[in-house]
Structure 1
């Protein structure tokens, strides 16, 4: 598949990591996706997409058009159609807040159709991006739509969440949350409540996801992997805790994960392959 993406122009780049088009025939249709530090908007112009939550009590979902997904704190399975044409947005963990008028907690580990979030606009947006031929023009249309949706005045506490979140991002989750609250001049409970309002989870949870993302992206399956060193670099100093979290986030032990990575290591083609792993 071909991945064409870019960082949008300011001020959207404060809230969005990239906007992208993903097209083509997938080598593997079923992907195992660990928690990653982002929320998502997907506009699907191809066949239906299926998603299975690792929480077995949650019913599988089938997406045929567009949908929002908040920050996920657990893994899920994602099945591409036979031919992919997907337009998407990778929001920063706090980045969806100024674009949608609903509590972030309602989208944490959940999904919602575009029309449920942006009233009666799903078909219009899909038609706009579906009628243009080039990826560059598609991304221009998507960026224009996002710019029109960005609220001018940030909601209460978003600036503090953004500042703190950026520090978690640049430190890969290694700065103690207590230090961040102290530096901001607020209590830990107050900072946690602001994160729940704008991210859907606490800053400690965001730190855990950033830390794990750094570790998982740092795995080079074509070279010997020193898990102890990799874990310590990412900020894990308790091996038992690292092993439990790794299994929770990927469904595999580090040894099992590396063996699967080595089966597919030479197939990586773009950003969509960092984190997710073929499950078929």
Structure 2
């Protein structure tokens, strides 16, 4: 499967980490995706894909067109078709808010059809991309759509959330939430309310996900791994808590996860995203 991605031009880069295109035959049909500090938009240009929640009480869903996903606090699974052609957008945790006219909390831990959020827009986007457009052209079209939909005036509180979120991003979740609130000159409760409005979760939960992302992206499967050192570097000071969270977020123990990483190394040409793992 081929990957092409890029960071969008300003001002979109304040809210979006990257836009990318996947095409071709996937090496693995089903991928297990842990929580990562991103919200998502997928525009499906190929065969239908299936999404499965790690919560067995939530029914799976098949998407032929496209879907939004807010920030996820638990793992989910993606079942690719035999051939893939889709454009994806990784929003920063606070990045989805200025593009959707609905409470972001309603997208947390959920997948929602694109037309339920951007009404009557998906067919237009898909028609522009068509069946023959190159990956680069598909990225350009989606970037133009995002730029057109970016709110001209930021919603109340988004500046505070973005400023605080950037500190969490650059510190990998290591800055205490109380220190973030003090630095911003607001109460912890006020900061939590604004994060729930523009991210869907509290800053403490965002810090937790950034901390885990730092840990998982630090794993070098080609070398011996000292999990205690990695956990301490990422801010885990309780080994039992680290072990529980790792199993909750990945579905595996650290030893099982490392064995999978060694068995299924990342595909050449893909970004260094070591979170998703084959589930088949």
| Structure 1 residues 99 and 3: alpha-carbon distance in aligned structure 2, compared to 1, 3 A threshold | same
* Corresponding position: 1:209 with 2:209: yes
Q: Are 1:114 and 2:114 counterparts?
A: yes
**Deviation of 1:43 (Å):** 0.4
Q: For 1:163-174, list aligned pairs within 5 A.
A: 163-174=163-174
**Paired residue for 1:233?**
233
How far apart are 1:132 and its partner, in Å? 5.2
Aligned to 2:246: 246
Mapped to 1, the partners of 2:123 and 2:272 lie a distance apart of: 25
Residues 180 and 266 of structure 1, relative CA distance in 2, 3 Å threshold:
closer
Q: How does 1:63-212 map to 2 (within 5 A)?
A: 63-130=63-130, 133-212=133-212
Deviation of 1:271 after TM superposition, in Å, equals 2.4
Q: Distance in 1 between matches of 2:70 and 2:89?
A: 12
Aligned twin of 1:6: 6
Flag structure 2 segments of 5+ consecutive residues without an equivalent. Answer: none
Cα offset, 1:2, TM superposition? 1.0
Task: State the alpha-carbon separation in 2 of the partners of residues 116 and 50 from structure 1.
Answer: 18
SS across alignment from 1:8: coil
Partner-residue secondary structure (3-state), 1:265: coil
Unmatched segments (≥5 aa) in structure 1: none
Residue 133 of structure 1: CA displacement? 2.0
The residue matched to 1:106 in structure 2 has which SS? helix
Q: 1:3, 1:272 within 8 Å by CA — same for their partners in 2?
A: no
Q: Distance in 1 between matches of 2:53 and 2:130?
A: 29
Deviation track 1:176-213 (CA, whole Å, cap 9, x = no partner) reads 01100010011111100100000000000000101101
Shift of 1:119: 1.0
Q: CA-to-partner distance for each residue in 1:226-255, whole Å, 9 max, x for gaps?
A: 000000111111111100100000011111
Structure 1 residue 217: Cα displacement: 0.8
Structure 1: how far apart are the matches of 2:134 and 2:263? 33
Quote the Cα distance in structure 1 between the aligned partners of 2:269 and 2:213.
Answer: 18
Deviation of 1:63 after TM superposition, in Å, equals 0.7
Aligned equivalents of 2:135 and 2:60: distance in 1? Answer: 30
* Displacement after TM superposition at 1:135 (Å): 1.6
Work out whether residues 266 and 274 of structure 2, in 8 Å CA contact, stay in contact via their aligned partners in 1. no
What per-residue deviation string (whole Å, max 9, x for no partner) do you get for residues 73-100 of structure 1? Answer: 0001110100000101100000000000
Cα 1:114–1:272, aligned 2, differ >3 Å: closer, same or farther? farther
The offset of 1:130, in angstroms, is: 2.4
Asked whether the 8 Å contact 2:217–2:273 carries over to 1, the reply is no
Aligned to 1:85, what secondary structure does the other structure show? strand
In structure 2, the residue corresponding to 1:271 is in which secondary structure?
coil
> Residue 274 of structure 1: CA displacement?
2.4
- State how many pairs are aligned: 280
